[in-house]
């Protein structure tokens, strides 16, 4: 099958990859590069860790792209997590979300993530075995809470280190 007429996930992944990295790097710098890099690495590590835990045997709750086998398109899919995690934190930081607005932001982000995942299912990026979008929503709540907690700790440590200089 030629790339031009390839599976739907190929073009969806390419378009999403370009859009996500384009937005992440086109936005004005609001965070130090070190924090940006660590948030992106955290997002990748958390997503990849979850995929390896619940997406593979013995659980095997879902497959990524075309099969349970790992291929280059799985790598492209995993590389989508860093800019998306960064954009989530970027909005949190730039909009100065805090206090009681934080759980609302997490819930809205989780709804957006679940809606976007529904789109990925349509384009055959994910194939569910014993998984549902309801589980995804709960995972997004947990992952986005962890990501914000990581960012808050990281930012606090960054400011302490900067004061000491």
Given this model, what pLDDT does residue 1 score?
44
Give residue limits of the domains in the chain: 34-164
Q: Report which DSSP code applies to 63.
A: E
Helix ranges restricted to H, the chain:
8-26, 33-54, 72-78, 81-94, 101-122, 133-164
First to last CA, the chain: 58
Q: What are the tens digits of pLDDT across the range 106-156?
A: 999 999 999 999 999 999 888 888 899 999 999 999 999 999 999 999 999
Phi-psi region of 83 (alpha: psi -120 to 50; beta: other; left: phi over 0): alpha
Q: What are the tens digits of pLDDT across the range 14-28?
A: 999 999 999 999 999
Both tokens of 126, joined, read 């994910």
Least confidently predicted of 28-37, 48-57, 79-88, 116-125: 48-57
Give 64: exposed, middle or buried? Use CB within 10 Å, 0-12, 13-18, 19+: buried
> What is the C-alpha to C-alpha distance for residues 63 and 55, in angstroms, rounded to an integer?
6
Dihedral over Cα of 58, 60, 64, 70: its sign? positive
């Amino acid at each position: 099958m030629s790339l031009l007429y390839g599976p739907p996930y190929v073009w969806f992944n390419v378009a999403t990859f370009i859009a996500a990295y384009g937005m992440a790097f086109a936005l004005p710098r609001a965070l130090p590069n070190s924090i940006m890099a660590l948030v992106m690495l955290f997002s990748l590590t958390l997503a990849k860790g979850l995929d390896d835990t619940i997406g593979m045997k013995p659980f095997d709750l879902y497959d990524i792209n075309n099969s349970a086998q790992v291929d280059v398109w799985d790598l492209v899919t995993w590389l989508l997590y860093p800019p998306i995690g960064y954009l989530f934190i970027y909005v949190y930081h730039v909009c100065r979300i805090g206090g009681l607005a934080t759980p609302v932001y997490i819930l809205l982000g989780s709804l957006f993530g679940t809606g976007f995942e529904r789109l990925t299912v349509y384009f055959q990026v994910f194939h569910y075995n014993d998984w549902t979008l309801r589980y995804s929503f709960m995972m997004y709540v947990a992952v986005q809470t962890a990501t914000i907690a990581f960012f808050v700790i990281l930012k606090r440590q960054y400011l302490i280190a900067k004061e000491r200089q």
